[in-house]
Amino acid sequence: MFTLNRKGATTIVDGVLLSYLIEDVMEDPEVPTEHLHEEMHHHAEHTREKWVLGVALSSALLAGFAAVASLMAGHHANEAMISQIESTDQWSYYQAKGIKETALTSKAEILDALGKSVSGADKDKVAQYQRDKQQIEKKAGELEKDAQTHLRTHEVLASAVTMFQIAIAVGAISVLIRSRTFWLVSLAVGVVGIAFLIQSFFTAGAH
């Protein structure tokens, strides 16, 4: 009877679970702020307060940052999924090599029990399977790390998009209620979003 290598089987299961997780978070964060921009521009055109024009300008810049962050988040989510699928394929290949190795090892044990010699070709094949498994395991591990890095980067960028959306919404509120304080809060939240955006570059480079 052939048995699956426990390490490889466990890793395949982990890979499938991670794939489901990636699918849950990989949707591109939406930036539904068009109506807010229209409302702010409308108020900016019909007011004499100069800071309202600043709100419209800052909100437009924040919307641009949000669009870039959203695009990058989608890219990293896709890359995470691709790397995880390739890693799972490698572990399946690892299992196939392990089954072949187990078959030859069992054959050698039976021949040894019967007092017969094992052919050199079978010994060479077993050694080759072991070398192949080491290479496959290394490649699968690298692909898993890539998938996790892309997923973490996606999460950071999704946080950036969320901060930008909140900042734009608060900016719109500041115009509606004529409160410069709310605009300052909007700018502060926008700075947090920019910080997340910058952090994503460091996260992506942490391979």
pLDDT of the residue at 207: 59
Output the CA torsion sign for 17, 19, 23, 29: positive
pLDDT of the residue at 3: 44
pTM above 0.85, yes or no: no
pLDDT of the residue at 149: 94
pLDDT of the residue at 119: 82
pLDDT of the residue at 162: 95
Domain boundaries, the chain: 32-204
**CA-to-CA dists, residue 8 to 44, 62, 82, 97, angstroms:** 62, 46, 19, 11
Low-confidence ranges of the chain (pLDDT < 70): 1-49, 206-207
pLDDT of the residue at 196: 97
